[in-house]
C-alpha cells in the first residue's frame, strides 16, 4: 500500500506543480515528513543529491520513492510525477498553439508568471531554512547564489565545492 501512497502523492504534486517542480518542494517536504518517510534535513540532503545528478530537478521524487520503497518506489514515483502533467500538456498543446494570438492566452500567461516567481522564491526560502542550520552553511549557500548569478562556473563544480567545504570545514 506504500506504493499506492507514493503514486497518489506524486500524481497530486504533478498536477499542482505550477511553474515547475521547484514550487512544490515545500509541499513535498511537508508531505514526506508528515508521513515519517524522511526528516526535513534528510529531504534537503536528498535534494542536494538530485541536484548533483544530471537531468531535471523532479528527480527528487525518484529519490524519495527509492528511499521509501526501493526500486519499484523509485520508478513509480518518477512515473507519477511526470504522467499526469505530461498527459495534460499533450492534450492542451494543440489548443495553445491555435490560440497563440488570442488576448486571453496572453493574459493567462502574464498572470501565471508572477505566481510562479513567488512560489519558486518560497521554495528557495524553504530549502535555505532546511539546509542552513549553521552560519557556515549559510555562507556556502550565499556564495553559490552569488557565483551562479555573477559567473559562468559550472553548477556541478559549485555543488562539489559545497560538499568539500562540508567535509573539510565541519568534520
Partner 1 sequence: MVDVAPQASPDRLSRSALFNGFFIAGLSGFGGVLPFARRIIVERKRWLTDAEFADLFSLCQFLPGPNIVNLAAAFGARHRGASGALAAMGGLLAAPVTIVILLGLLFERYGRLPDVHHGLEGLAAAAAGLILATALKIAAPSLRGPTTLAVVILAFTLFAVLHLRLPIVIALSLPVSLVLAARRIR
109-168 binders of partner 1 (CB under 8 A):
109-128, 130-132, 134, 137-138, 140-145, 148-149, 154-156, 158-159, 161-167
* Radius of gyration, CA atoms only, the chain: 18
Measured between alpha carbons, how far is 74 from 71 in angstroms, rounded to an integer? 5
From the CB of 4, what's the least distance to partner 1, in Å? 21
Q: Is 8 in the site for partner 1 (CB under 8 A)?
A: no
Residue 4 or residue 167: which is nearer to partner 1 going by CB?
Answer: 167
**Number of residues located near partner 1, criterion CB under 8 A:** 107
Measured between alpha carbons, how far is 124 from 60 in angstroms, rounded to an integer? 15
Q: 89: how many CB neighbours lie within 10 A of its CB?
A: 10
Torsion of CA 143, 20, 38, 164, to 10 degrees: -20
From the CB of 40, what's the least distance to partner 1, in Å? 11
Residue 164 φ/ψ, nearest 5 degrees: -65, -45
Which one of 7, 29, 59, 80 is in contact with partner 1 (CB under 8 A)?
59
Q: How remote is the C-alpha of 46 from its chain's centroid?
A: 11
Grid cell locating 115: 505566481
By rule CB under 8 A, what string of x and - marks binding of each residue 71-110 to partner 1? x--xx--x--xx-xxxxxxx-xx--xx--x--x--xxxxx
Measured between alpha carbons, how far is 33 from 15 in angstroms, rounded to an integer? 20
Residue 7 or residue 46: which is nearer to partner 1 going by CB?
Answer: 46
Which one of 54, 80, 98, 102 is in contact with partner 1 (CB under 8 A)?
54
Which one of 3, 50, 80, 102 is in contact with partner 1 (CB under 8 A)?
50
Amino acid at each position: 500500500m506504500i506504493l499506492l501512497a507514493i503514486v497518489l502523492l506524486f500524481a497530486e504534486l504533478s498536477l499542482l506543480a505550477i511553474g515547475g517542480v521547484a514550487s512544490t518542494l515545500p509541499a513535498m517536504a511537508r508531505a514526506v515528513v508528515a508521513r515519517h518517510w524522511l526528516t526535513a534535513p534528510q529531504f534537503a540532503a536528498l535534494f542536494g543529491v538530485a541536484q548533483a545528478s544530471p537531468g531535471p530537478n523532479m528527480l527528487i521524487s525518484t529519490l524519495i520513492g527509492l528511499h521509501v520503497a526501493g526500486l519499484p518506489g523509485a520508478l513509480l514515483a518518477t512515473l507519477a510525477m511526470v504522467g499526469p502533467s505530461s498527459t495534460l500538456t499533450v492534450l492542451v498543446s494543440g489548443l495553445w498553439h491555435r490560440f497563440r494570438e488570442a488576448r486571453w492566452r496572453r493574459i493567462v500567461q502574464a498572470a501565471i508568471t508572477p505566481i510562479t516567481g513567488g512560489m519558486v522564491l518560497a521554495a528557495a526560502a524553504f530549502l535555505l531554512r532546511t539546509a542552513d542550520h549553521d552560519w557556515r552553511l549559510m555562507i556556502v549557500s550565499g556564495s553559490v547564489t552569488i557565483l551562479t548569478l555573477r559567473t559562468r562556473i559550472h553548477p556541478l563544480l559549485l555543488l562539489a565545492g559545497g560538499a568539500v567545504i562540508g567535509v573539510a570545514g565541519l568534520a
